[in-house]
A and B are shown apart, each in its own frame.
Chain A
Amino acid sequence: MLILIEAAAAASAAAAFIHAYLYAPLLFWPLVSLVLSAAVLAALSPLAVSRRMTFLAHAQGHSILTAALAAAIAAAAAAQSLASPLFYLATLLFIIVLNLLVLFTESLGFRKDVATGVVMSFQLTASVVLLYVIRSLYATALDPLSIITGEYVLITSRDVLIQAPLLFASALFPLFYGVKYLYAAVDEAFVQAIGINTKLLDKLFVVAMSLAVAGSVYALGSLMPAVLLVLPGAAASRYSHRLTEQIPVSVSLAVLSAAAAHFLYTILPWLWPSAALGLALLVLLVAAQPLRNK
């Protein structure tokens, strides 16, 4: 099954890249950005699903919105655009702070889900405040909608070069610790007994998620990274029961969906690519159900 899915992902990605390069050159770099973002977020997805962190992963949607709004204000105040390195760095900084705030709140004695909910409540409140600040002070310089949907068609090679280091840094976690972290979901007590520090891995995972969502916000907007942190991993667990296949299957499904999203967008220009990507993943998730029942 893994080989089939990987082959389908590679073939569809190659077809999409060739199509974009030859027939829709303006969409080539946006597609590169979409595939990279989707692949890295999907590599983290099985970890979030297996470690029961989907709520925290979905909270990324809230934290990225708050962080991106705050970063956008910082960028506008410095007369920089949303494609500037300043915006990316400020977004990353704010996301890491907001995510670590969840672990800090948990350390105060709240359950993980309650701690996440408390910080999400703060983020929602802060988002309303920041949106109103943008409307009042930077209405001509900033479009808050672009922070929610992403700026897909405006993406250039320069944007990909800015996001690539963040995504690469994020990918290091699943690459080096992915299988260990997944195994911790199988039996945490045993993993700790053989000397693996799962608390430290939890913190590194949160940082990796922060890097991935900050790196993909310009392409995907502030909402879709949360979707890509949950759906590919959930779908992968339907397609394979092997722990070591979860990450490659998840990445392959995301790449396959990104390629499908490209073609859907060229056929139906009103269907925004990040939304098409989410729909394609949902279709793959539902399609896997009969396989599971067999």
Chain B
Amino acid sequence: MEDVSFSAGREFVLVGGPNGAGKTTLFLAILGLLPYRGEICVDGVCGEDRASKVGYVPQYIHIEAEATVWEYVYLPAKFRRIKAAERAAEEALKAVGLYAFRDRPITALSGGQRQRAAIARALATGGDVLLLDEPMANVDPQGRVELLSLLRELKKDRTILMTSHELTFPSDLADKVLLLNKRVIAYGPPDAVFREEILMKVYRYVRIAKTPAGFICVTEDYAHPH
């Protein structure tokens, strides 16, 4: 990737783009897990320490080992030496509505509940900045509704960057859209980015509809025709 420059305040940024556009790469660079040139700062911290200010939800969550929901959220906070890790985990689980499930095996949760647990873990281990990598993937429609409702609550006092291969979402969720394809193609409010002439720069096929509920964008990658 090159020429990637943007800043976000306390807002929800939807990071979109076709497969291989660099969405996950961007997150890994922010976390300091990939080499890069330039400067990345989070909450005013620009060195490696910035990762401690970021809560992260990875793209693939395949849980097979034994752990309770509580251990899943609390232990990483303890590993990161978060002050009052127990309280942070407790509050995070309450925030995502899983506190009552804390003694259950994490493997017993549904896909949507696991994503909420992963968000709770990000809340317990990070600061006020959340990086969510494709959290809607592998979540059923009911789980999707619950996740969107949770994200609406969380975005009130946090910076959230969420990647999504799909660009269809409720209009009250994203404040900005960052469209990537190896570099920044567009960055701004959804109305400014979800335009056919902009999306056609990275997609082979684009249809956009703006409904009262939000944008519906149907896109097709160049590299992955149906």
Contacts and interface: CB of A to CB of B under 8 A. Distances in A.
B201 to A, nearest CB: 31
Contacts of A244: 71, 75
A234 B125 CA distance: 30
A237 to B, nearest CB: 5
B23 interface: no
B61 interface: yes
A79 B58 CA distance: 58
Interface string B59-88: 111011111100110011001100000000
Contact of A190 (B66, B67, B76, B106): B76
Contacts of B59: 189
Interface of B: 31, 33, 51, 56, 58-61, 63-68, 71-72, 75-76, 79-80, 105-107, 118, 121, 125
A242 B106 CA distance: 10
Contact of A189 (B60, B64, B72, B121): B60
Contacts of B72: 186
Contact of B65 (A180, A189, A243): A243
B80 A183 contact: no
A235 to B, nearest CB: 12
A155 B66 CA distance: 37
Interface string A158-191: 0000000000000000000001101101110111
A194 B66 contact: no
Q: Is the interface of A mostly helix, strand, loop or mixed?
A: helix
A180 B66 contact: no
Interface of A: 50, 179-180, 182-183, 185-187, 189-196, 237, 240-244, 246
7 contacts: A183-B71, A186-B106, A189-B59, A193-B31, A241-B68, A243-B67, A243-B75
A52 to B, nearest CB: 9
A121 B71 CA distance: 40
B134 to A, nearest CB: 12
A176 B59 CA distance: 29
A193 B105 contact: no
Given A186-B106, A191-B79, A240-B66, 8 more contacts: A50-B65, A182-B65, A182-B67, A193-B58, A194-B76, A242-B68, A243-B68, A244-B75
B58 A242 contact: no
Contacts of A191: 76, 79
Given A187-B58, A243-B71, A194 B79 contact: yes
Of the listed residues A179, A190, A193, A244, the one surrounded by the most CB atoms of chain B closer than 10 A to its CB is A193
